[in-house]
Amino acid sequence: MKLLVVLAAFVAFCAGSPAHLVPGDNSHYVEGESRYIWMPDGTGVPHLVDLLEKPSDEDITRISRNGANNEYWLYTRQNPDNYQLLVHGDVNSIANSNYVANRPLKVIVHGWNSNGHSTINPMITAAFLNVQDCNVIVVDWNRLANSLYWTAVIGVPGVGAHLGNFLVWLINTAGGNWNNVHLVGFSLGAHVVGNAGRAAGNRPARITGLDPAGPNWGGNSNALRSTDAQYVECIHTDGGLLGIFDPIGATNFYPNGGRNPQPGCWISTCSHSRAYELFASSIHNNHFVGRLCTDLQEARNVGCTGGVALNMGNSIISKRGGGLYGLTTNRSWPF
């Protein structure tokens, strides 16, 4: 009898669980209104997120300091697979590493529920090192990224500020050139690199925002901005769902309409991750050519045919541009 009571309670719990009420394709989601949304972790596995589940008031001060837990992992052609840890304030950690001041510097920042080993990092690191002898720094901010989504959102400015301050210290201490600095961030990581650029006085040459996170970011003053670096570019692949659709960069690319579903994607979270896959492919091949759009609606409808063309993504540090661009891609690598 006791077992039957327990089973009945379990069934009742499952029946009332939001996971049974929220469509897996996020077709229910209305930006700024919906409470629940499915979001992928660093391996692409979807998790149901409560967008209203906030940290307690006493945690907010602690969260704002969480960027001190950032780790900075250096990869070069001399150590493409095993990182060297650079520690803010520890000159010996640089002196004993393969960091070379006159190389270009690439910085990669993951998103929510991820870490330094999540798919985006080795994929983009390998692409950069394949085409260029450069320093690649992967930022691991997993201690905050693997908390409640709202907790991570609140912590983004602190994580970004600590990153920006680290880069200022690194270049002032070990040498480097801001005109060779390229920051790349995915989802929440896109807003992290925006805050890092601000903390560094908007000096980085380039920021690439890969489907900047959308939930809780519309109208958010801490979101990535077009002025956070000398040139800010966004690649939108899941706009209106996991990504923000608004053109928050100086240049904004909308491959395949910039929305779910992207070609070859069967689950909604795939379209979000497609941003970093397209970017990695563009580093290798530089083959995505966008056409200027007259407005956002034309981009949404995959109808951009303007006479101005600009390549999406790639690793060219001197890249500049502005406006909205649309293009189509294939269903599988290299797209």
Indicate the number of domains in the chain.
1
pLDDT score, position 170:
98
Q: What is the mean pLDDT of residues 136-141?
A: 98
- What pLDDT, on the 0 to 100 scale, is given for residue 1? 41
- pLDDT for res 53: 86
- Is position 13 within any domain? no
**Does a structural domain hold residue 333?**
no
* 163-204 tens-digit pLDDT: 999 999 999 999 999 999 999 999 999 999 999 999 999 999
Interval 214-273: pLDDT, tens: 999 999 999 999 999 999 999 999 999 999 999 999 999 999 999 999 999 998 799 999
- Written as one letter, the residue type at 60 is I
pLDDT at 57 (0 to 100): 66
**Mind listing the pLDDT tens digit for each residue in 92-103?**
999 999 999 999
| 61, 71 Cβ separation under 8 angstroms | no
Q: How far apart are CA 12 and CA 223, in angstroms?
A: 40
Render pLDDT for 49-92 as a digit per residue (tens, 0 to 9).
Answer: 999 888 776 676 677 677 999 999 999 999 999 999 999 999 99
DSSP, collapsed to helix, strand or coil, labels residue 182 as: strand
Whether 3 is in a domain gets the answer: no
Q: Is residue 6 part of a domain?
A: no
Q: Give domain status of residue 283, yes or no.
A: yes
* 11 confidence band (pLDDT: 50, 70, 90): very low
3-state secondary structure of 35: coil
Residue 66 domain-assigned? yes
Question: Domain range for residue 104?
Answer: 22-327
pLDDT at 144: 93
Q: What is the mean pLDDT of the chain?
A: 92
Average pLDDT over every residue of 300-327:
97
Statement: residue 120 has pLDDT above 50: yes
pLDDT of residue 291: 98
Give the active site residues.
187, 211, 272
DSSP letter for each residue of 132-175: ---EEEEEE-HHHHTS-HHHHHHHHHHHHHHHHHHHHHHHHHH-
Q: What is the pLDDT of residues 14-51, one digit of tens each?
A: 334 566 678 888 988 998 889 999 999 998 899 999 99
Assessment of whether the complete model's pTM goes beyond 0.85: yes
Question: What does the pLDDT read at residue 14?
Answer: 37
- CA 77 to each of CA 128, 175, 212, 297: distance values in angstroms, whole numbers, following the listed order: 10, 19, 29, 43
- CATH number of the domain that 59 lies in? 3.40.50.1820
177 within domain boundaries: yes
The reply to whether 45 falls in a domain is yes
Distance CA 110, CA 256 (A): 23
